[in-house]
Chain A
């Protein structure tokens, strides 16, 4: 299993550009989520999904869109990049059966810089 994969690993954007951060998992996990990590702030939840076709907002959803058309993929779209979106982005997945004790598996992260 490849686990949770994220592409790209690094990205530089100009203010106003749009892009999609890709996330895929091959473990047949129902639950997927996106976090951003900023210095001194820990990991903050952007959006999450409990299954194909179901998404919900987290703590910091503004400026980001998600969709979940398949179990495997959960892309994160930046509609019009702003310097405040400069961050490291992590995708995570886990099973939902068996409850919240399940380990969440994290991707390697994407470092995004918005100029």
Chain B
């Protein structure tokens, strides 16, 4: 079974600074997919970034990037130039084949002006 662990229940960052959210996972599969979702106070789940495990290059989406360390089973999310609108819960998730997404417990990020 896949498991996803987010070890930081809460984090805060000053506006315009950079913050990194941690995620580790456990899987016996050789190919799988990793995701970060954002959940703002509106409760809507929004895909932030995704990574295919067989691709060594780290995914980037504007101010969001990941540090994917396959051997260490680590998939951290870096948010650069943090904005007040980045305040949200962030969930790391993994998926293999056509099985369902498995989520971590989330990290609550607060961006402080």
Binding site for B on A (CB under 8 A): 31, 33, 35, 40-45, 48, 50, 58, 88, 90, 92, 96, 99-101, 103-104, 106, 108-109
Contacts and interface: CB of A to CB of B under 8 A. Distances in A.
A100 B91 contact: no
A95 B44 CA distance: 20
Of the listed residues B6, B52, B99, the one surrounded by the most CB atoms of chain A closer than 10 A to its CB is B99
Nearest to B50: A101
A40 B43 contact: no
Contacts of B103: 35, 42-44
Contact of B100 (A40, A42, A48, A88): A48
A76 B1 CA distance: 25
Contact of B106 (A42, A48, A101, A108): A42
Interface in B71-113: 91, 95-106
Contacts of A108: 43-44
A45 B100 contact: yes
B64 interface: no
A33 B100 contact: yes
Contact of A100 (B9, B33, B47, B104): B33
B11 interface: no
B43 A88 contact: yes
A45 B101 CA distance: 8
Contact of B99 (A40, A100, A103): A100
A101 B101 contact: no
A42 B98 contact: no
B45 interface: yes
A35 B10 CA distance: 22
Contacts of A109: 43-44
A103 B47 contact: yes
Contacts of B105: 40-42
Interface string B42-57: 0111010010100000
A103 B51 CA distance: 11
Given A44-B103, A92-B45, A103-B50, 15 more contacts: A40-B9, A42-B6, A42-B91, A42-B103, A43-B91, A43-B101, A43-B103, A45-B101, A50-B98, A88-B43, A99-B97, A100-B96, A101-B50, A106-B45, A108-B44
